[in-house]
Structure 1
Amino acid sequence: MEGRSSGIERNLEDGGSKALAPDEISHLALDIGGTLIKLVYFSRNDSWSVDDKGAKSPKGDSPLRVSCSNLDYPILYGRIHFAKFETSKVNECLEFIRSKKLLHGGRWHHEAPVSDKNGIKATGGGAYKFADLFKENLGLNLDKEDEMDCLVGGANFLLKAVHHEAFTYMDGQKEFVQIDHNDLYPYLLVNIGSGVSMLKVDGDGKFERVSGTNVGGGTFWGLGRLLTKCKSFDELLQLSHQGNNRVIDMLVGDIYGGMDYSKFGLASTTIASSFGKAISENKELEDYRPEDVARSLLRMISNNIGQISYLNALRFGLKRIFFGGFFIRGHAYTMDTISVAVHFWSKGEAKAMFLRHEGFLGALGAFMSYEKNNYDGLVVHQLVEQVSTSASYSGDKIHSSLAGDLNDNESIGCSVYTT
């Protein structure tokens, strides 16, 4: 399990494991996928001023950029927190919710648990599969929202509300992209979970699933587990850092005696056949280094997703492609491979763009559906830039993020008002 926070969550600051006070928590939402459970919840920050007629600055040194002086509703300030768990370890998610007292999070004043209302918002196939488990263990009803609606809702929300949300990544260079809200649509949203869904987004609530592939994050993790004996997705991803795919992949140069196939613009280093060298070598699986296998597998799947994504963008005349989902994990090599694939097949006309909060689109969409359904009157007014150092929570310890500032999805500050 990995949970993320950046300062409001005191149990992470002081290294302890105590829960936040119930009156600091509100509105829990879940995205329960085939591989991972993504969890989002809001916590109040009592060190920030609250005014029923307008916004005041927080007492600390992190400024809020809000303009809501004409609102007639109470304002609450705090952070939206993110956590994830392996779906196969759903009981860890249940314990996290119980230990942090998130089951009290459906009301602003918290006189009673949320189970006396419609329940907590949830999306993904697991919202159906594990509904009874949540009810039996926590007394929580899962109020189900459509998975694709939530993915698009979460993406639209982040692209409009977070200043530095989208970025490009190629050749080790990360560059933030400024999004013109008046020119956001249409775009292609490629969500890489266990499988891959490709959605053409034309506006708020206006989209269609135009394609997909069953070769996704579940493929990488499943094949990787069989081939390398890694025990977790992150272990497999870390292993790929140390590998050399050219030991296993057949390159153009391997076929052409080290030369380019220049007539068609194929460099000698271009992969002609993933895992192709394994055919011609008299070796068994144990003769190959696991890190080389992991690297080749990651390269194969990332290339494939990048190519299919561009072909669908070309099909609809879309220049803008956003990639999300926990397969990416802010992993530099994955992003670079996808970017190179899009650049190669588009001849430089299209760019792959990535999202800082890539894995939480569905969970955020479910969170935002409280507002859509006027659920306790929640309205998220504005998000504030995340400025703290990345950290991940495991037990009672804080660990550095694998990809540093590329994985800035610990928490995001926001202001909300209730009706």
Structure 2
Amino acid sequence: MDQRHDQIEGNSEPSHSFGQVSHLALDIGGTLIKVVYFSTSRDDCIDHEGDSSANNTLGVSKSGKHILEGRLHFAKFETRNINDCLEFISSKKLHLGGFQRCRNLAKDKNLIKATGGGAHKFAELFREKLGIDLDKEDEMDCLVAGANFLLKAVHREAYTYVGGEKEFMQIDQNDLYPYLLVNIGSGVSMIKVDGDGKFERVSGTNVGGGTFWGLGRLLTKCKSFDELLELSYRGNNRVIDMLVGDIYGGMDYSKIGLSSTTIASSFGKAVSDYKELEDYKPEDVARSLLRMISNNIGQIAYLNALQFGLKRIFFGGFFIQGQPYTMDTISVAVHFWSKGEAKAMFLRHEGFLGALGAYVSYAKNRLDDLVCNESIQIPVSASYAADPKYNPRNADLNDNESMQCSVYTA
């Protein structure tokens, strides 16, 4: 099935004319802007049984609820390129409401749900450029609501990553809480979640995705976050990191359970090698940086989980992006510090928690009223003006993927 942005299921028309669009939601962070919106699969609305409803009206389920079927779409942009995001929204008319021929779901077409610090910082820019007002939702509320939605409504959303293999976990909704949500954005927030709307931010660290991107940009001259991640994937951190074996002549420090390959000091070899930055390969620097930050986050996450007696830790945020090395490093850190008692778990839509939380905050799209089928696709991170040299897979918006959903509207 073609999941391309301009080939929405059931419609072969270009993306600017597919179905109808409703309920655009934004998460405007310090580094990235995340976008989520819903569109119908076809120009008409369809009922619960999948049949076209007469006169383009909403379908009605046996429970009496009106239903629209369509897809949730995902996209991201670097916050520094916010004008690209504005152009994307404008070109696809995402801010003009939708489903007018079916039913007006929004009380105010010019009011868009948004969260993150940028919802405050750029509010006037959105009003000036697009004529829309940002209806601001609390960032932590949205992160938790987005995570709870994914864990409850989306099949095969959570998984572990061990030894290079994903293992999808069946989450018992009756045994979901409590859990620790570790959201890795520009910084890192660690949130103890006890239920819908019941949570506490228990800790965090300023060493997060923004640290990786900022230091990486200075050290490697990479032009984008995605380029830096790709660069790190090709590197070898052992060229720069000081290992236990480097200190003990290739031997383990078995008395305290440290193998010879354990990192004793990130970037430690740069002290003894007496080399300059240009003497190191950029990919090795990027790899060491990624390893350092991932290890640090994994350790802090476990220590917080230990404090509250939590065995289940979910990691989200665009820092991860499904990168095997990032997930492996976090998983190993949690396993090491917990002595195997705790597991790191990841989410397929990890970067869109806040945007999804803002989306489900629309009054008539309550969490329980959005049902997604099992054919979930991992969202591709794309940029409206991406340079294919840096990110060839994601260079075109048409690569954005989506999940098929049904919306109960009333």
Q: What TM-score does the superposition give when structure 2 sets the normalisation length?
A: 0.89
Task: Spell out the pairing of 1:202-241 with structure 2 (5 A cutoff).
Answer: 202-241=194-233
Q: Secondary structure at the match of 1:46?
A: coil
Contact 1:307 1:341 in 2 (8 A): yes
**Which residue is 2:30 aligned to?**
34
**Which residue is 2:169 aligned to?**
177
Deviation at 1:9, TM superposition (A): 3.7
Amino acid at match of 1:6: Q
Contact 1:36 1:84 in 2 (8 A): yes
Distance 1:315 1:379 in 2: 32
Residue by residue over 1:241-298, the C-alpha shift from the partner in whole angstroms, topping out at 9 and shown as x without a partner, is 1111000000000000100000011000000000000011111111111010000000
Contact 1:103 1:113 in 2 (8 A): no
Distance 1:395 1:238 in 2: 19
**Which residue is 1:384 aligned to?**
373
Contact 1:390 1:401 in 2 (8 A): no
Q: Secondary structure at the match of 1:102?
A: coil
Task: Spell out the pairing of 1:141-290 with structure 2 (5 A cutoff).
Answer: 141-290=133-282
Deviation at 1:30, TM superposition (A): 0.3
Amino acid at match of 1:293: V
Identify unmatched segments of 5+ residues in structure 2: 53-59
Contact 2:317 2:350 in 1 (8 A): yes
Distance 2:385 2:34 in 1: 20
Change (3 A) 1:222 1:212: same
Change (3 A) 1:114 1:206: closer
Amino acid at match of 1:44: T
**Which residue is 2:122 aligned to?**
130
Change (3 A) 1:388 1:124: closer
Matching residue within 84, 97, 102 for 2:89: 97
Contact 1:188 1:199 in 2 (8 A): yes
**Which residue is 2:17 aligned to?**
20
Distance 2:278 2:10 in 1: 44
**Which residue is 1:46 aligned to?**
42
Change (3 A) 1:231 1:310: same
Contact 1:6 1:391 in 2 (8 A): no
Residue by residue over 1:301-322, the C-alpha shift from the partner in whole angstroms, topping out at 9 and shown as x without a partner, is 0000000000000000000000
Distance 1:396 1:88 in 2: 12
Change (3 A) 1:243 1:57: farther
Matching residue within 7, 19, 23 for 1:10: 7
After superposing on structure 2, the runs of 4+ consecutive aligned residues of structure 1 that deviate more than 2 Å are 7-18, 54-58, 68-71, 105-118, 377-381, 385-402
Deviation at 1:14, TM superposition (A): 10
Amino acid at match of 1:380: D
**Which residue is 1:56 aligned to?**
50
Contact 1:7 1:13 in 2 (8 A): no
1:334 aligns to 2:326 (yes or no): yes
**Which residue is 1:411 aligned to?**
402
Deviation at 1:366, TM superposition (A): 0.2
Change (3 A) 1:107 1:387: closer
Return 337-346 or 110-119, whichever deviates more: 110-119
**Which residue is 1:64 aligned to?**
none
| Superposed CA RMSD | 3.0
Contact 1:170 1:339 in 2 (8 A): yes
Matching residue within 315, 320, 337 for 1:345: 337
Q: Secondary structure at the match of 1:43?
A: strand
Contact 1:249 1:271 in 2 (8 A): yes
Distance 1:50 1:236 in 2: 44
Distance 1:409 1:306 in 2: 29
Identity of aligned residues (%): 70
Change (3 A) 1:314 1:388: closer
Distance 1:358 1:256 in 2: 39
Contact 2:76 2:383 in 1 (8 A): no
Distance 1:185 1:112 in 2: 36
Deviation at 1:74, TM superposition (A): 2.3
Residue by residue over 1:195-222, the C-alpha shift from the partner in whole angstroms, topping out at 9 and shown as x without a partner, is 0000000000000000000000000000
**Which residue is 2:306 aligned to?**
314
Contact 2:84 2:385 in 1 (8 A): no
Return 233-242 or 110-119, whichever deviates more: 110-119
Change (3 A) 1:189 1:139: same
Distance 2:385 2:281 in 1: 34
Deviation at 1:49, TM superposition (A): 6.5
**Which residue is 1:405 aligned to?**
none
**Which residue is 2:56 aligned to?**
none
Deviation at 1:171, TM superposition (A): 1.4
Distance 1:390 1:150 in 2: 19
1:305 aligns to 2:297 (yes or no): yes
Distance 2:294 2:278 in 1: 24
Deviation at 1:100, TM superposition (A): 0.5
Contact 2:85 2:384 in 1 (8 A): no
Residue by residue over 1:131-157, the C-alpha shift from the partner in whole angstroms, topping out at 9 and shown as x without a partner, is 000000000000000000000000001
Amino acid at match of 2:264: A
Contact 2:190 2:202 in 1 (8 A): yes
